[in-house]
Chain A
Amino acid sequence: MSNGPLQIKAISGHAGPVPGRDTSRDYDVCKLIDVTTCIGCKACEVACLEWNGYPFRPTVFDNTYQTMPDTAWNYYNLIRFNEHVADDGTLSWLMRKDQCMHCAEPGCLMACPADGAIVQYSNGIVDFQQEHCIGCQYCVTGCPFNIPKFNSETKKVHKCTLCSDRVGAGLEPACIKACPTGCLHFGSKDDMKELAGARVRQLHEHTSHKNAGLYDPVGVGGTHVMYVLHDIEHPELYGGLPKDPQIPWTVRIWKGPLKWLGDLAMVAGIVGLATHFIRFGPKRIEEDTKGETK
């Protein structure tokens, strides 16, 4: 990329390989969340608020380590906490950083009727443009991950931007920068898949998590936020992550056949009525001829 961040190719007097030399320079971006190394510290939640300039929201204690029940229009990023007892009686704390998944085929964008209110950048980021948002919340209907949140005062919908403003300037998202354990990674999708693959192999070989796997759901064309999960067979354990997310069939019908059939029917109706007028003309009123009684 001509306008991409400067990439070092050779270093003088440097022993060993050039850092990052073989990494993919594809323009698409991806966030990889390795939930197996997340400690639930919520530094990403704070970093998100600080970068986006939102005040901290009151926390709601629900007997877990979760900050509040759900994300909000000014709280894009939430660690979902689940205390899970496995069949063999072992206990595990499952923590998942929940935010927009930046789907390759975004249901929000498909459902949105407002010109320019949702855009998808060529690097994969799906971004809401609040100045064009009309507040209909169809994006909420289209999203399989329950991400867009409505501000009832401004009548605008907000969600994680994957820090498009930072990424556009060659920086990583704020949450990535804040993560103390390195469970958050950011780079091209190919690199993140490779990194995730290595981690999944490591989990298979060196731990008891034989079902570990990469969450990159095909139902929405893959996502630009991916998870390494201990148990890829049960993603719903991680605060309701859907196993096979899809854009709802109602939205597909509504934005697919129903739209063009309806458009066609309306145009055909107008053409048909005009043709009728040309063919048969107006009805004739029988002026005072026969049958005039008074």
Chain B
Amino acid sequence: MSAAANVRPMDTQGDIERYTFRERVMHWLTGLTYLYCLATGLAFYTPHLFWLATVLGGGPTSRFWHPIVGIVFLMGTMWMNSLWHRDMEITETDKVWMDRIESYITNHDNLVPPQDRFNAGQKLFYWLMLYGALLLLLSGFFLWLPEYIPRQAAWIRGTMVLVHEISALATIGGFLIHVYMGVFLEPGSMRAITTGYVSRAWARTLHRLWYQRITGSAPTEE
């Protein structure tokens, strides 16, 4: 942890800054570019959703922008990695959290170990998206410019489509859970990632170790 993390600004109500301006910009850059690639990608994936490409400016337009926006998404992910990778390292506590994930899912948050800035679920989502983005870029490059793949290596095209789709589906699973939790499951999370601030109660309930670390308060009861 960097020392700077220990001096978090607070607003007039005593709320704590959870995400800096830079982190919020980075989050929404990756989030919105992912959303665009998701919508256009789903249009190419299934005929039932091809209307998404029509809504977003037409099939050829979507085909043109999907890979370019995808590269911006990957750049955002790399930026995210530079800001968060230390916070995202899996620790021993995370393994205990994973063992008690059922309590977390059923909202018995008092039965899971106290978490630092990010809990194990957030960390898993982070690593899923990071490696997913790398796989999507690698395979997507071949889908972007297939005319440069010689006929003798035609098998690469088909294989890369499968890699692209399987990694996309994996990230979609994580993305659905992420959006559900941010928008519906955890009150205050949406405010955290838009304004940057969370209430002290929010921090204490969901990220007790982080709360104690940045406020300097002593561990109270387990």
Give me the interface of A with B, judged by CB distance under 8 Å: 113-115, 132-138, 140-141, 146, 150, 152, 155, 248-251, 253-254, 258-259, 262-263, 265-266, 269-270, 273, 276-277, 280-288, 290-291, 293-294
Contact = CB atoms under 8 A, between A and B. Distances in A.
B184 interface: yes
Given A115-B47, A265-B173, A283-B186, A294 B162 contact: no
Interface in B130-179: 143, 146-147, 151, 154-155, 157-159, 161-162, 165-166, 169, 172-173, 176-177
28 contacts: A113-B45, A134-B53, A134-B62, A134-B63, A136-B44, A140-B157, A141-B157, A146-B151, A150-B147, A152-B147, A155-B64, A258-B162, A262-B169, A266-B176, A269-B173, A269-B176, A276-B180, A276-B185, A277-B185, A282-B185, A283-B187, A285-B201, A285-B202, A285-B206, A286-B204, A291-B220, A291-B221, A293-B217
Contacts of A287: 201
Contacts of A150: 147
Contact of B60 (A138, A155, A258, A284): A155
Contact of B50 (A114, A140, A270, A294): A114
Given A137-B146, A254-B162, A269-B173, A248 B155 contact: yes
Contact of B220 (A262, A277, A285, A293): A293
Interface size class on chain B is 35 or more
A79 B190 CA distance: 64
A283 B107 contact: yes
Count chain B CB atoms within 10 A of each CB in A140, A277, A293 and give the residue with the most.
A293
Contact of B44 (A113, A253, A288): A113
Across the A-B interface, the 9 shortest Cβ-Cβ residue pairs: A250-B158, A134-B59, A293-B217, A291-B220, A141-B157, A134-B63, A113-B44, A273-B180, A248-B158
B136 to A, nearest CB: 15
Given A115-B47, A286-B204, A250 B159 contact: yes
